[in-house]
Chain A
C-alpha cells in the first residue's frame, strides 16, 4: 500500500504545473546541469534504479564505465551548492536525491559507500540554492 502511495505521489508530481500550484506541498527539485537529461524525465523517476542497477553490474563485473548512467554522473550533474558555494553531500536536505526521497520517505543506501558529492572528473558545476 505504501508503495502504491509512493507511485501515486510520483505520478501526481509528474503531471505538470497545474498541480504544482495546488495546495498540496511538492518538493522543489533542483535543475541539473547541461542542456538535457540523460533520460526522459518521466522514465528516470520511475526507472532510475533499473538504469543504476544495470550499470552497476556492467561496471563491477565487466569494467564497462558508460559515463551517463554512473551514479557519479547523477550526483555531478545534479550537484546542489550551499551558500558558501560548496557542493552539498547527502547529509544536507537540499541534496538532489534527498528532495524526492525525503518526500516519498524512501531510504537511500547508495551513499553509505558511494560519494554523494560531484566527481571532478565529470567537470560540471552545480546549481546554487
Chain B
C-alpha cells in the first residue's frame, strides 16, 4: 500500500481509511526487524507522515482591512506576478471583507486553499492530478494536470487559479506553467525543510500576528492549544469537508 503513491488518493470512507492505516502499521510491526519501526523508516526518508496534519488558524479579530502582508509574501515566495488582469491573474490568497448588514461591522480575513480532509477537488479530478498528501496538504501534480478546471468548479472556497499565460522566471521551489491549475501549497517546500509558511512568517513580521501554523494532530502544538482554548470555525463547515484552515472571530 505504501509503495504506490497514488493509493492514497483513492476515495475511501474515514472508517475504511482508519482501518487500512491501522492494518499497515500492524503489518509493518510484524514484518520489519525488531527495533526498526515504520515510523523510524519514514523519518529517515523524511517522507510526509499521516500522523501529522498541517493546519492554519486565522484570528479575524487581529486581521485588518489595510494589511495585505500575507498576500504580498505569497506572491513573492511563489513568483506570482500578475499581468494587470485581476479577473484571470493567479491568486493563491485573497483578502475577503465580511460586513454585517444589520450593524455595519466589518471583518477582514485571508482565504486560501482550505486543505480539506475530504477535498472535492480531488474527488472530481479526472486524471488524479489533484491529490492530498499524507500530512493533509492538498496539491496539484502539474505533470498530470490537463487544465480542465473541473477542480476550480468543485472548490467551494474559490481557492484555485488557472495559469492562462506562459510563465517566465519561476521560483526554483515553485514550478508553475501555462495550462495547469494551481493553488496554495501551504508552502510545502518550506514545510519539508521544517520551516513556517511564507504568509504566517510575514503576518508575524510585517502584519498583525493573526495567523498560526502547525500540526493540528499534535495536542501540544501552538495551534492545537489555541484551538482547544478558543475554538476555531470552519468556513462552510456544513459541507463536511473538514478544512485544515480554521478561523476565529468570524461571528458578530
Interface flags, B135-179, vs A, CB<8A=1, else 0: 100010111000000000000000000000011011111011110
Query: Please, which residues of chain B bring their CB within 8 A of the CB of A72?
Result: 172-173
- Chain A residue numbers with a CB within 8 Å of B169 are 89, 115, 117
Shortest CB-to-CB span from B108 to chain A, Å, is: 32
Cross-interface CB contact of B170 among A60, A115, A121, cutoff 8 Å? A115
CB of B180 within 8 A of chain A? yes
Contact of B5 among A61, A115, A121 (CB under 8 A): A61
Q: How large is the interface on A (under 10, 10 to 19, 20 to 34, 35 or more residues)?
A: 10 to 19
Chain A residues lying within 8 Å of B193, measured Cβ to Cβ, are 65
Asked if B172 contacts A62 (CB within 8 A), the reply is: no
Q: In this assembly, does B206 line the interface, its C-beta being within 8 Å of a C-beta of chain A?
A: no
A112 at the interface (CB under 8 A from B): yes
Does B48 have its Cβ within 8 Å of any Cβ on chain A?
yes
For B46, B166, B172, B175, the residue with the greatest tally of chain A CB atoms inside 10 Å of its CB is B172
Q: Are A113 and B133 in contact (CB under 8 A)?
A: no
Give A93-129 as 1s and 0s: 1 = Cβ < 8 Å from B's Cβ atoms.
Answer: 0000000000000000000111101110100000000
Contact between chains at A112 and B47 (CB < 8 Å): no
Which chain A residues lie closer than 8 Å to B177 at the CB level? 112-113
A61 touching B192 by the CB < 8 A rule? no
The yes or no answer to A56 lying at the interface (CB within 8 A) is yes
Q: How far is the CB of A46 from chain B (nearest CB, A)?
A: 21
Which of A56, A60, A65 has most chain B Cβ within 10 Å?
A60
Tell me which residues across on chain B come within 8 A of A63, comparing CB atoms.
46-48, 133, 135, 188, 191-192
Least CB distance, B198 to chain A, in whole angstroms:
15
Q: Does A57 contact B (CB under 8 A)?
A: yes
Given contacts A61-B8, A61-B131, contact A113 B192 (CB under 8 A): no
Q: Which residues of B contact A61 (CB under 8 A)?
A: 5-6, 8, 131, 133, 141
Tell me the interface secondary structure of chain B in the complex: loop
Task: Give Cα A61–Cα B50 distance, bound, in whole angstroms.
Answer: 12
Interface assignment of B15: CB less than 8 Å from any CB of chain A: no
Q: Is B13 an interface residue (CB 8 A)?
A: no
Chain B residues with CB under 8 A of A56: 143
With a CB–CB cut-off of 8 A, which chain A residues contact B14? none
> What residue in chain B is nearest A121 (Cβ atoms)?
B172
**Considering only CB atoms, which chain A residue lies closest to B143 in the complex?**
A56
Q: Does A49 contact B (CB under 8 A)?
A: no
User: B45 touching A64 by the CB < 8 A rule?
Assistant: yes
Q: Contacts A113-B142, A113-B170, A114-B170 given: A62-B176 contact, CB under 8 Å?
A: no
Give B contacts to A, CB under 8 Å: 5-6, 8, 45-48, 131, 133-135, 139, 141-143, 166-167, 169-173, 175-178, 180, 188-189, 191-193
Could you name 17 residue pairs across A and B whose Cβ atoms are closer than 8 Å?
Answer: A56-B143, A61-B5, A61-B6, A61-B8, A62-B5, A62-B45, A62-B134, A64-B46, A65-B189, A72-B173, A112-B166, A112-B177, A113-B175, A113-B177, A117-B169, A118-B172, A119-B173
7 further interface pairs, Cβ-Cβ under 8 Å (given A63-B133, A114-B175): A61-B5, A62-B47, A63-B46, A65-B46, A112-B166, A114-B172, A119-B173
